[in-house]
Structure 1
């Protein structure tokens, strides 16, 4: 939406802002803090709007008015529910309104927690009316409040939450093949302390990954490819990064430009204040890389990397709207909060009922590994980074995995550092009373167990107090969503176990060389693995299986890499397998398929 020039910001009992992100900063006097007095709604102001909306809404107060339109606080008849109603000045048959209407058709049925909901729109009297939910303010308004309080910009912990939420909203649009094209602080609204991306007047359907576009957007936030006549999802990420810098330091990274804004964008000339450390700058430079393909794969990946660079573990509250909420980000103090590998933890929901500080979230039957670091959850609990589980003389290590976000992101979980080996499998069967039929054990007692059905593997996992991993959990643990420049699930200098005649020992010095970035062994070789999902049909997504029993005729999704293959698993392979997974009938045993175990976080 090309927005009006005026807005009011709502914090506490202040009047709400309009849902399009319009602002009234121009009406403030120099040095004035807070919103201006409400604009009185005169009869002359109301005339056209009232005629068209009187049957549906009572226009209470004008929230903003500018070049392109005006926004009203309105109450729905007869319920009295308050909404924002925007009226475009330009006739509905003119370019601006036509573009707005086309954008509305694209997004009218989209619903996401971090997108401002468009609730209705219509043309009446040759004017376009748009109804949205109300917001409390914009991120630009919040930044100005912070500056008025003597801060350089929005505090880092608060800003990172807004960034993660905006990134999720934008990634959702991108999954729907829609680019926003006008991401900026004015168009990210705050609703009950959460960010919502708004103002969709320039959204466009992606005919391809990178499309030819008209010169559209706000120059200070436009990616280099936009200036050159192209654009796509990566352009939204670029604009989000520029917005973050401005909100963080109180001025854009181009405030120092001497050769013009366009040249600064195209040549990558950024200005960072001293408060932004080098690690954070490196992430921002990547998100604002000149070439779209050099940026992060998603906005969420950018947000995760940024939190990682600052040593923040981002957590979100599931506190219902309108209730007090605790802090959402917890600084990574020594021996208190630790980001795991290159991952960032921001998806674990706090339990209701207040703080549980002092409690330790260790899986039943497991013990924290001596000297391991701790991760602090939103409700005050701490979870060990590494735990161990013992069955007889055999001990398995488990790593806390904290997925990096995105749609369908799993909750944090513990994953076995190695595939279950033959001796451990036998001890777990004894301890849990699980039948263990005679079977061949290629590689010996220390090698990963094979020749077990999916149901047998799931039953032993349950006897250990866990379950099989879902494909999404396995992929997150492998590093698929947070690759860190790696080609596959293998750390730099490592060696995957492939091209073998039989599986190699699951643990030991040789196995350690097969570790990925999180210290998990053999994610890229030494055998395939059962997961807790089945494939219902070709072209259909996997369905998670709850419990330890599979339909014998079900095609169970596999992950990993067979040990006899000569090349290790790569992320490119995983991309293909996410579309067309390897599968195996649940009733079948295979000399190439084993399993590993997930322990839930209590």
Structure 2
């Protein structure tokens, strides 16, 4: 319904986006009213996740409105760059921001009615909901958005909206769920060859589960999407924020395996037991310093003082500027990783325990957790650092596992087995460390989203020597 231009503000040093009603529509009174209503509605929505309206007017019989210029791409274009679907963490961030925008509008009695990836702008640090062109105030009985006009995109519209029934905020929640489906899979939930076939499929409600298209997505996501796309509005979440929270919490957290503090000098022979209350504070080690990043502050109270200069820990160069040689990918002979010994819970009868055969290692430095140690390639990919824990820490397994449990999609690597020049093989104490992280591949947009929403820092894995500084993928 409009043409959009990038314009230099005549008085201020900035660019704005100018939306102009086309000449052949400017004489249509119904379209003029809709255009003016878009400006009036959007102008009342001052929110960091909404593309608002700065001004509106008429020039030479043509209506225009100005909006902030968003230097980025929309989510539909982002999907086109990742046809198999976006990383789960990036989808959660986009949905969370869009949900915040919807809840803000709904609380002010405004429905969007056209939530879809093409109407979600991504500026590298946040998602912004745009185009309130067919929005209406709740209770509006005018016929500007009635049957016979263009009301939203059928691929993302709620069944009641497709039937022409009265709608409320839960129709936007349905559209948000279908948008999440598209972001996760790279495909619309009802991908058919014609609008009529799409409408028929949407009214039928049969959709291919997300996990059928993305086996790496936890199965619990399917139930979250299904609830958001429920045929009956009464069966959907009560708010967009509630749906976003369910999606973020959908991956089932594995059982946390807590480490038993070993005897002095036995840190290289860890032993695991069934879940128990957190161990008491281990004795302080005078010759070692232990730290984790801010996302694991609670764990830091158990394991020791926070080490200043997180960049220095993972920087390749030492204080003199010399670059140490890249370490071998094998674990030194002094490090022995024994197979885990499980203690049977007190409620179960005690069986006769025979000596267990030695299990093969799943990789150098593997901690024996549910998720095996990884070794990401040094190909310029972005990783979000969640923490770094020294190998000798008595609670190293528990701390790593806690990070894996609380961060869906996270992995962990062992510094001596990584062999990326941009990551040191040992910290300033000369000790190897474990680092839980999230891998964003070579997508700077996804890495930027993760950085903005988590507040930790990003490193780039390269074969060359690093600068000792964290990367900023948002630049």
What TM-score do the two structures reach when normalised by structure 1? 0.40
Distance (Å, rounded) in 1 between the aligned partners of 2:114 and 2:59: 27
Residue number in structure 2 paired with 1:588: none
Match of 2:61 among 126, 151, 168: 126
Aligned in 2, Cα 1:208/1:291: closer, same or farther, shift over 3 Å? farther
Distance (Å, rounded) in 2 between the aligned partners of 1:190 and 1:380: 25
SS of the equivalent of 1:219 reads coil
Alignment of 1:241 with 2:177, yes or no, is yes
Aligned in 2, Cα 1:87/1:231: closer, same or farther, shift over 3 Å? same
Cα drift, residue 124 of structure 1: 2.0
Preserved CA contact (<8 Å) 1:213 1:226: no
Residue number in structure 2 paired with 1:78: 11
Match of 2:200 among 239, 260, 263: 263
Aligned in 2, Cα 1:206/1:253: closer, same or farther, shift over 3 Å? same
Residue number in structure 1 paired with 2:278: 370
Alignment of 1:165 with 2:102, yes or no, is no
Structure 1: stretches of 5+ with no match in the other structure: 1-67, 312-331, 338-367, 388-602
Match of 1:146 among 82, 90, 108: 82
SS of the equivalent of 1:130 reads strand
SS of the equivalent of 1:231 reads coil
Structure 2: stretches of 5+ with no match in the other structure: 259-275, 281-290, 303-475
Cα drift, residue 384 of structure 1: 6.2
Distance (Å, rounded) in 2 between the aligned partners of 1:378 and 1:201: 44
Which runs of structure 2 are paired with 1:446-525 in the superposition (5 Å)?
none
Cα deviation 1:315-362 (Å, max 9, x = unaligned): xxxxxxxxxxxxxxxxx687499xxxxxxxxxxxxxxxxxxxxxxxxx
Match of 1:106 among 41, 44, 51: 41
Preserved CA contact (<8 Å) 1:92 1:128: no
Alignment of 1:188 with 2:120, yes or no, is yes
More strand by share: 1
Residue number in structure 2 paired with 1:274: 213
Which runs of structure 2 are paired with 1:320-359 in the superposition (5 Å)?
335=256
Preserved CA contact (<8 Å) 2:18 2:67: yes
Residue number in structure 2 paired with 1:202: 134
Match of 2:251 among 310, 330, 348: 310
Preserved CA contact (<8 Å) 1:257 1:264: no
Aligned in 2, Cα 1:208/1:125: closer, same or farther, shift over 3 Å? closer
Q: Which has the higher contact order (CA 8 A, sep 6+)?
A: 2
What TM-score do the two structures reach when normalised by structure 2? 0.50
Residue number in structure 1 paired with 2:159: 224
Match of 1:298 among 227, 239, 249: 239
Residue number in structure 1 paired with 2:228: 287
Cα deviation 1:173-193 (Å, max 9, x = unaligned): 000001000100000111232
Cα drift, residue 278 of structure 1: 2.9
Preserved CA contact (<8 Å) 1:92 1:98: no
Residue number in structure 1 paired with 2:430: none
Cα deviation 1:348-402 (Å, max 9, x = unaligned): xxxxxxxxxxxxxxxxxxxx96259xxx998333336999xxxxxxxxxxxxxxx
Cα deviation 1:21-78 (Å, max 9, x = unaligned): xxxxxxxxxxxxxxxxxxxxxxxxxxxxxxxxxxxxxxxxxxxxxxx33221111112
Preserved CA contact (<8 Å) 1:183 1:221: yes
Aligned in 2, Cα 1:378/1:106: closer, same or farther, shift over 3 Å? farther
Distance (Å, rounded) in 2 between the aligned partners of 1:116 and 1:251: 25
Which runs of structure 2 are paired with 1:61-76 in the superposition (5 Å)?
68-76=1-9
More helix by share: 2
SS of the equivalent of 2:295 reads coil
Cα deviation 1:95-133 (Å, max 9, x = unaligned): 223212112212213211111121111122221211111
